[in-house]
Amino acid sequence: MADPPYRPDCSKLSRLVGICLLLGILWEIRAEQIRYSVPEELQKGSFVGNIAKDLGLQPRELVERGVRIVSRGRTPLFALNLRSGNLVTAGRIDREELCDRSLKCVVSLEILLEDKVKIVGVEVEIIDINDNAPNFGTEEREIKVAEHETPGTRFPLPEAFDPDVGVNSLQGYQLSSNAHFSLDVQNGADGIKYPELVLERALDREEEAVHHLVLTAFDGSDLVHSGTTRICITLMDTNDNAPLFTQPEYHVSVRENAPVGSRIITVKATDPDEGANGEVTYSFRKVRDKMSQLFQLNSVTGDITILGDLDYEDSGFYDIDIEAHDGPGLRARSKVLVTVLDVNDNAPEVMVTSLTSSVQETSSPGTVIALFNVHDSDSGENGLVTCSIPNNLPFTLEKTYGNYYRLLTHRTLDREEVSEYNITVTATDHGTPQLSTETHIFLQLTDINDNPPAFSHASYSAYIPENNPRGASILSMTAQDPDSIENARVTYSLAEGTLQGEPLSSYVSINSDTGVLYALSSFDYEQVRDLQLLVTASDSGDPPLSSNVSLSLFVLDQNDNAPEILHPSLPTDGSTGVELAPRSAEPGYLVTKVIAVDRDSGQNAWLSYRLVKASEPGLFVVGLHTGEVRTARALLDRDALKQSLVVAVQDHGQPPLSATVTLTVAVADSIPDVLADLGSLEIPLTPEASDLTLYLVVAVAAVSCVFLTFVIVLLALRLRSWHKSRLLQASGGGLASLPASHFVGVDGVQAFLQTYSHEFSLTADSRKSHLIFPQPNYADTLISQESCEKSEPLLLTQDLLETKGDASPHQQAPPNTDWRFSQAQRPGTSGSQNGDETGTWPNNQFDTEMLQAMILASASEAADGSSTLGGGAGTMGLSARYGPQFTLQHVPDYRQNVYIPGSNATLTNAAGKRDGKAPASSNGNKKKSGKKEKK
């Protein structure tokens, strides 16, 4: 039969692997410990061990890697020589002071490698040397012996004390030679040698009352030390009973915080003898200085009390040797074993061994901030320490070697949220009551540029009055950057742009440091009403971050433009315009209307009219808001033919600005009536006047020729312009190429204002020579689109009117009585009902500015005289400018600004024309026409 295949024992293999792992762990633990030994009492700087070699480092690497000894606050016993890498003594080491009588004296210390944040434990064993001789504590000891003592009686002798240990401690005793006594040394259970004096021969007091002996104690080692004491034996009467303690050992426990003077135990020894032989007294044996400072024994009562403060951390156990002796000197020995109970009277100690004072705000979680050690001198639960930090902090504690802790970052830090931390590390023990210690670790976060500047508002608006001085401050803008130092230093700039062909930098500038916006030029509201700017705030970090904000700068209007009078306008030939007022006019008759505009806006453009001067006070009145000149009363025959009026137009700005115009009103029903009235004047005939009449006739003839030539040329130009406009309309070009400001439309009628002004002259001798030549002044003419399309004459002289008579197809129609507007339809600058002087001004700046634009456009049209107006019905010619959706309902009606001289009517929307109905002629016009034919 074949052998079965070999199968490895899995349990044995796993056990072998476990043993290997255990050995590895033990070897690693052993590798973390370094052990040295050194004898006591060496001089300062004596060699202990080569720590650099044991750490696997070169001596020069000790400084580079931050190798140092971690001290706990006690006086350092060892030092590290960074040049040689050796561990040396820091001073004289006394083993007996350090470890008392402990058989093994080991001093532990920690070596810190800061670069690796690693702790290496070092144990140094202090080897005892024979540097102390045995000491009895007293130079002489008296022993009283009864003379009848039998041989073999033993008398306890004082013990010597040697603080050394091992062979260097007490080894034996030797008694000087004598005939009666011998020395016997007893070994106690605790290893202490107790010398006893043994009586060898009977004593005889009468033969020798006192015996003097010398007891010598010696230790071991090569160099033997010894100590002696004198024993004085006094023979006395018989005392055959020695004191006897109630217990061979007394055990007692006391809390370390027991108050001074507290009784801890009472020892008791009895002696059956009587008298002085039975009087027992108590005393300490082998009293050391430290023991005598802590405890006190009452020699009569046997009470042991606390004389000094007990400290469990100093010593937790005390072995007190006591003895009781009677009057003759018989003694008994006992021990009091005192156990000190620990109380939680020591707060934990925190010692920071490594600390980082600052860290970048972007440091990754797990960054080491500090390394510290905690220690509590108490024992048991009182010595267990727990460390903690506040939960609201972004840090955590990690326990490392022994009682060492590391303080680590728990998450990414943000300096803008918290720029610095005062971390409170609390070390708390487990005692009752709990004691704790707080240690504060201050950590500063260094800033990086991770936040752009931020303005306080999403957008800004500023206002500046026009005509401002150059360099005037407009607005201060501030952007905040939560970063620090250079990362928070903000500079301001304006984005590039143009306005009316000029760069924005020629209008405004901004202070790069303060963010104050300044005006570089003086603004004119009539040219620039607002600016749209983009302000950029940039910090000085690396890389720099920036943010933008929009700024709207509005120019406020100032009253810097005086009113401009559009009607009546001054004739171009230097003559003075004359308005007619029939003598039959009733009070309130509209003679003429003064039309004015103001380039300003708002209240600065609200105009009022007043009569400043009149040749006949009380005859005429001027509408306060309309500028309409009306008769204040019925005209009388005594009223002068020629009336001169001075009308002032004033705005409502601060300060107010004004303009004046002079009107000449002729009081007559028509121009021929004016001439007839002038002809009735009787003027003396003189030769000089006759010559003057001749000169005037020649001058008037020359002017008339020039005027006729001008009329013919003007008519030809208008026909040519009309023809071109027809061609443009046919080609679809429309009027898009013409400036919008040249058009004014009233329900499909394109018009410009007309003022009839007649100049007349008369010779002094009208009976001999009489010349009347009417000269109309066509500064403004009202022409409808239909009349232009029919090529009807632009101007008709007075002679042509007389020639054609009533048969003229172009006779002026009487005013229609239905073209008055309600007050709501009229713009506030000039429209109002008849005789109403309390009309309200428009409070809407848009309406006022729109009205001004239309009136200025009509004035420009009238001055041009050759522009062809266009626009569909109901658009007022504004569709080309504002689009087809902009109709008459969007703007205020201004048609009351157009009036017909010689009547009290105002132009309306010509509804009769749109409906195809011709207005009926009035009787008044027929009478005037008949008068002209008669003349």
Give the residue-averaged pLDDT of 424-448. 90
pLDDT score, position 677: 58
- Cβ neighbors of 753 (< 8 A, separation 6 or more) are 566, 567, 595, 780, 782, 858, 859, 862, 897, 898
Banded pLDDT at 880 (limits 50, 70, 90): very low
Q: Are 914 and 874 in contact (CB under 8 A)?
A: no
Residue 5 has pLDDT above 90, yes or no: no
Residue 676 has pLDDT above 80, yes or no: no
DSSP 613: E
- Among the ranges 74-78, 163-167, 277-281, 728-732, which has the highest mean pLDDT value? 277-281
Least confident of 90-104, 388-402, 663-677, 743-757: 743-757
Structure tokens at 312: 């469990």
Residue 441 has pLDDT above 50, yes or no: yes
Banded pLDDT at 730 (limits 50, 70, 90): low
Q: What is the pLDDT of residues 16-36, one digit of tens each?
A: 656 655 555 444 444 467 899
DSSP 506: G
Q: What is the pLDDT of residues 263-317, one digit of tens each?
A: 999 999 998 877 787 889 999 987 777 888 899 999 999 999 999 988 888 888 8
**Sign of the CA dihedral running 189, 190, 195, 196:** negative
Give the residue-averaged pLDDT of 591-598. 93
Q: What is the pLDDT of residues 789-839, one digit of tens each?
A: 333 333 333 333 333 333 333 333 443 433 333 333 333 333 333 444 444
Provide, rounded to the nearest whole percent, the portion of the chain with pLDDT above 70: 71
User: If you search the block for the tokens 């004033």, which residue do you land on?
Assistant: 650
Nearest to 625 by CA among 828, 900, 823: 828
State how far the Cα of 452 lies from the Cα of 545, in Å rounded to an integer.
Answer: 5
Q: What is the pLDDT of residues 689-717, one digit of tens each?
A: 557 778 888 888 999 999 999 999 999 99
Residue 558 has pLDDT above 60, yes or no: yes
Give the residue-averaged pLDDT of 586-591. 92
Residue type, 821: F
Strands 658-667, 578-581: pairing is parallel
**DSSP reduced 3-state for 741:** helix
Structure tokens at 727: 């061609």
Q: Give me the DSSP letters along 2-61.
A: PPPPP---HHHHHHHHHHHHHHHHHHHHHHTEEEEEEETTPPTT-EEEEHHHHTT--TTH
Strands 368-375, 349-355: pairing is antiparallel
Residue 863 has pLDDT above 50, yes or no: no
CA angle 74, 75, 81 (to 5 degrees): 120
If one compares 353 and 773, the residue with the highest pLDDT of the two is 353
State how far the Cα of 265 lies from the Cα of 337, in Å rounded to an integer.
Answer: 10
- Cβ neighbors of 415 (< 8 A, separation 6 or more) are 361, 445, 446, 447, 448, 483, 484
Banded pLDDT at 628 (limits 50, 70, 90): very high
How much is the pTM? 0.42
If one compares 623 and 906, the residue with the highest pLDDT of the two is 623
pLDDT score, position 63: 84
pLDDT score, position 221: 78
Least confident of 556-565, 793-802, 853-862: 793-802
Q: Partners of 145 in the beta sheet?
A: 235
**DSSP reduced 3-state for 928:** helix
- CA neighbours closer than 13 Å in the CB half-sphere of residue 735: 22
Residue 784 has pLDDT above 60, yes or no: no
Mean pLDDT score across all residues of the chain:
75
State how far the Cα of 587 lies from the Cα of 568, in Å rounded to an integer.
Answer: 22
pLDDT score, position 857: 54
- Cβ neighbors of 511 (< 8 A, separation 6 or more) are 492, 517, 518
Give the residue-averaged pLDDT of 105-113. 86
Residue 257 has pLDDT above 60, yes or no: yes
Strands 33-39, 420-429: pairing is unpaired
Residue 131 has pLDDT above 60, yes or no: yes
Give the residue-averaged pLDDT of 537-555. 91
- Cβ neighbors of 916 (< 8 A, separation 6 or more) are none
State how far the Cα of 856 lies from the Cα of 711, in Å rounded to an integer.
Answer: 25
Least confident of 70-74, 136-140, 436-440, 928-932: 928-932
If one compares 490 and 818, the residue with the highest pLDDT of the two is 490
If one compares 244 and 877, the residue with the highest pLDDT of the two is 244
Burial of 79 (0-12, 13-18, 19+ CB in 10 A): middle
State how far the Cα of 574 lies from the Cα of 757, in Å rounded to an integer.
Answer: 12
Residue 914 has pLDDT above 50, yes or no: no
Q: Which long-range contacts (CB under 8 A, 24 or more apart) does 25-33 make?
A: 32/120, 32/121, 32/401, 33/120, 33/121, 33/122, 33/123
pLDDT score, position 169: 84
If one compares 882 and 516, the residue with the highest pLDDT of the two is 516
Banded pLDDT at 252 (limits 50, 70, 90): very high
pLDDT score, position 541: 87
Structure tokens at 293: 């400072």
